[in-house]
Amino acid sequence: MTIEEHYNAIAPKLLNWLVATGSPRAEANDLVQETFLRIWRMRDALSQDPSAVSGLAFTTARNLRKNLWRDNAKLTFVDEIRDGDAGMVGPPDELPSDAEDRRAALRNRLAEAFSKLPPPLRDAYTLFQVAGLSIREISAQTGATENLVKVRIFRAKTKLREILSGMGVTIG
């Protein structure tokens, strides 16, 4: 496969995974681009195995994000949003609809629920459900056995249901 074919196959999954695990969309887009720039630089040394490139992409993106967050933790922000401006996205006639408010509230609850999961469970679940990686690919990427990956995904689903239920979110 060419780098372009790898990009077309992996980038959407990688972007979804980064957003689902806490990166803002703009940051996630930048991370995906930087990840594939690095993969491009290594193209001659890459294996032709698509799962190896996928694992490399997810590992690279995760490490880039850790570096970015570590570096940003050192920044000091001085601007503050005034109380009267909180939540305003434009003039009053451009405020979000009730349906958009409900979706945003649900996304916030989901993000909060994911943040309460232990990292191994959160990583396994998002790599499987959001990134669409196979059990074997997750095992290769995380170093956990395939059985342990299955257990972590199951436990993550169970724990998410419990957390969301406690937040008043019903799951069908």
List the CATH number of the domain containing 63: 1.10.1740
User: Which has the minimum average pLDDT: 9-13, 26-30, 45-49, 164-168?
Assistant: 45-49
> What is the number of structural domains in the chain?
2
pLDDT of residue 89: 44
Rounded CA-CA distance 73/70 in Å is: 5
Question: Within this chain, do residues 106 and 58 fall inside the same structural domain, yes or no?
Answer: no
pLDDT of residue 70: 74
Question: Within this chain, do residues 112 and 171 fall inside the same structural domain, yes or no?
Answer: yes
Question: Within this chain, do residues 108 and 58 fall inside the same structural domain, yes or no?
Answer: no
Could you tell me what percent of the chain has a pLDDT over 90? 11
Residue 31 lies in a domain: yes
Which range of residues forms the domain containing residue 2?
Answer: 1-75
At 23, list the tokens: 């990166």
Question: Within this chain, do residues 62 and 4 fall inside the same structural domain, yes or no?
Answer: yes
Rounded CA-CA distance 55/138 in Å is: 8
Question: Within this chain, do residues 65 and 108 fall inside the same structural domain, yes or no?
Answer: no
List the CATH number of the domain containing 127: 1.10.10.10
Mean pLDDT computed over every residue of the chain: 78
Q: Residue 148 pLDDT more than 90?
A: yes
Residue 53 lies in a domain: yes
From 75, 91, 124, the end of a domain falls on: 75
CA angle (82, 18, 10) in 5-degree steps: 145
Mean pLDDT across 3-22: 86
Could you tell me what percent of the chain has a pLDDT over 70? 79
Question: Within this chain, do residues 116 and 69 fall inside the same structural domain, yes or no?
Answer: no
Question: Is the pTM here over 0.75, yes or no?
Answer: no
Residue 81 lies in a domain: no
Question: Within this chain, do residues 54 and 107 fall inside the same structural domain, yes or no?
Answer: no
Mean pLDDT across 72-95: 46
Residue 107 lies in a domain: yes
Count Cβ atoms below 10 Å from residue 7 Cβ, excluding itself: 20
Residue 162 lies in a domain: yes
For 6, counting Cβ atoms within 10 Å of its Cβ (0-12 exposed, 13-18 middle, 19+ buried), the class is buried
Mean pLDDT across 16-43: 86
Residue 15 lies in a domain: yes
Q: Greatest CA separation found in the chain?
A: 55
Q: Residue 10 pLDDT more than 70?
A: yes
pLDDT of residue 92: 45
